[in-house]
Structure 1
Amino acid sequence: MKLTFVAFLFIAVFILVVDALAFLVWKREVEKPMDKTTKWLGTFLFFIVPVFEIVSYYYLTQSIRDASSPEFYIWFMMANAICLFIYLPKAFFLFYYGLFMVVSAITQLWKNKKYSKEQTTIRYPRISRKKFLSQVGIIFATAPFISLIFGMHKGRFNFFTRHQRLSFPNLPSAFDGFKIIHISDIHLGSFASNYHKLEGIVDIINDEHADAIFFTGDLVNNFQEETYGWEKVFTQLKARYGKFSILGNHDYGDYTDWNTPEEKQRNFQGIVDAHKKFGFRLLRDHSVSIEKEGEEIALTGVENWGHDPFPRYGDLQKAMAGTDGFPFKILLSHDPDHWDAEVVDKTAYDLMLAGHTHGMQFGIDWKGFKWSPAKYKFKKWDGLYQNKNQFMYVNRGLGFLGMPARIGMPPEITVIQLSKGPVGTEPM
């Protein structure tokens, strides 16, 4: 409840600040030549729209724990989309307007200092202030609007593959060239039974001819009903040595206030059973061996382990029992924060695979420059991280939640090839 209220408070303040500033700009730049009726209508809209948005958000954030079906999350995401469509262009325009005013003030000061009153100034025809503001401002406001349209229509389904080769001196020779497919954060309920939207990943994954497929949690948003019918998609995924999975923070049903503990347990068991129906071996604080040509590596999967407000069910010590004799070890853990807390420099795991962050479904990844709001929440939020001879890879996820879009952070399928050799990494 505390987290949802904080989210509501943040959104409400954002809406009020943006609309208050937009109203002041409207009064200063637009209102004067209007007739009384138009002025009254404009003022009314500046009042009623934020009130409607804030009341709607209050209802949604306070009702989310009472939700009893997957459809609620669809409505919640659509509300987020509407808010972004209204307020993100406004925010961009206000940023531009503020920048314009600062530059105009500096330019005017410079002109006043450079030219004296006695100098003759040649005046050229120039565009009016209002016309310049409206034309350039529209461009600024249109950019996020178009980005949102693309992110909803194309970006959230624009699956892409990242390839990475990792070398380890202690990798058994039989596993030299062993190919792993890493996927995460599917959030089936967000696809609303549109099975065809994920069918495309089957060919992408199977064309890689993987030795193993690892899924690092968040199969659903909250409910077992989200898994219904999806076995026809996920049973098509093929890997020579098996498909393995773990649970994420959304897979426990913790984001709903259930009527009884038994009801919550039935929901949870349905989610657990779905992994088996999909052909995955679910690892819950448990380790298994993968054997190839008489040699073995260890694979450990832990229950969700996170910092507050995310649940902490995982017991790494329990999960890694019996792995001491293996020369090479892989850990599946949903939350990348687990890496710094309990894994790196504290265990002998050579590679950890995680997800959870989604790259916040928004960011920039261009020619070596990478940024997302996720970096302010998670120390390690996307891609490959190395500490001496230990590696962690954070996958952006296949699904979406919160907003029905991905902008600059497309859904990801990771292909990792293990190589025997000096510790190192290179793109494939």
Structure 2
Amino acid sequence: MVFDSHFHGAKIIAAKIEVDGEHLGNVFAYPFVYDSFTEQEREELIKQLVESGANQADAEGAVSHLKALAPQEVDYLKELVDLVAEEVVTFHSEISKREERIHMLNSELGEKFRYHNMIGKSKSMQKIYSLLERISSSESSVLIQGENGTGKELVAKAVHFHSPRKDYQFLAVNCSAFNENLLDSELFGHVKGSFTGAHKDKPGLFEAANGGTLFLDEIGDTSLSMQVKLLRVLQEGTYIPVGAESPRRTDVRILAATNKDLKTMMAKGEFREDLYYRINVLNVNLPPLRDRQEDIPILMESFLKRKCDESGMPMKTFSKKCMEKMLDYPWPGNVRQLENEVERLVVLAGDDKTITPDLLSPQILDHGAAPVSASRGVNTSGKLKDALMELEVIMIREGLKRCNFNKSKLAKELGVSRASLIMKVEKYGLDKRKKAAGE
């Protein structure tokens, strides 16, 4: 709405920011006057400013610089202010939903994550099952390592739901999805007034998971200062919420995961040695899918049945040629990529009972059809690392076009984190917005 300010006659447009009935603030556009502003109104405004403490010259200068807006310009400004307020509300709602998505994990049944439901008959997976059977009853921290898409969170859930803490919360957080300040608040909570927007106390995940398990995914992406705070929780069982003065206690079991080489990071000073040994009391190293190819057919069948059931479609089958193509593919995105591909095939097959190779994603269908240099234009002479980097650039550039620059979608397709993809896009200068701006 448009209203006069408290002490002068200039106009202000304001829109309230309200979320779930709570007034969080306002968006303002000011000061201005209507283009019908009369000389009498001008003199009155100058008089009010002088009475408020301004000298005559400054008051006249300030009034002379006021923007005079036509009615249609005022209407446009109102729409703009409302739009900004709506964007703020939308952003705030998305932040709130993030917590709901994380906490939703608690409602999942433990039976879903029993070891026999972690699909795989290979020797490497049988060793994993045996290891999990031994470590689940422990209270020690566990470090789960493996490439993206190998099932690190599934392992964490299985450990929790077979542990003495199974009747308490299992909460998870992806450390690479937040900047340091947001991660601080997410993990440790904050007190009212600790920063702009902190309108009430907010419990962190360490408080919410008290008595249960907290899964820290991508712990290798945390800053050194955050690592100090995590070390304190592991050593002393205490933490300090943002803006608080005294520590609080918590009783949680920490499960951490990473796809990075933490030992190399320690040597470079990027990861604390004391934290590494605290989280790595027990270690689970998940094999990539390419190293357990005998598991691919049963994974495919399991995903196929689940996707058909979820979509209400009759059960389908893979043609022999389609199965061969999928067995030949190295699956850089591991089990997650395989599951996504099966879901895609179920949708594209429609009412057909047999899934044929022509429905496969191009990178799977074309794999092995021709040398990389012929099919992708990569130079096979020179150093291997240069050729790999060239191939990486091509895959990301083509993928961005194919996904209409939707980085979340492409990251999922490539089997990498969104943060990692964004870094590579920046590194290779593939951001379409910066190109459009001529940077």
Q: TM-score, normalised by structure 2?
A: 0.23
Q: Which has the larger radius of gyration?
A: 2
Q: Which has the higher contact order (CA 8 A, sep 6+)?
A: 1
Higher helix share: 2
Q: TM-score, normalised by structure 1?
A: 0.23
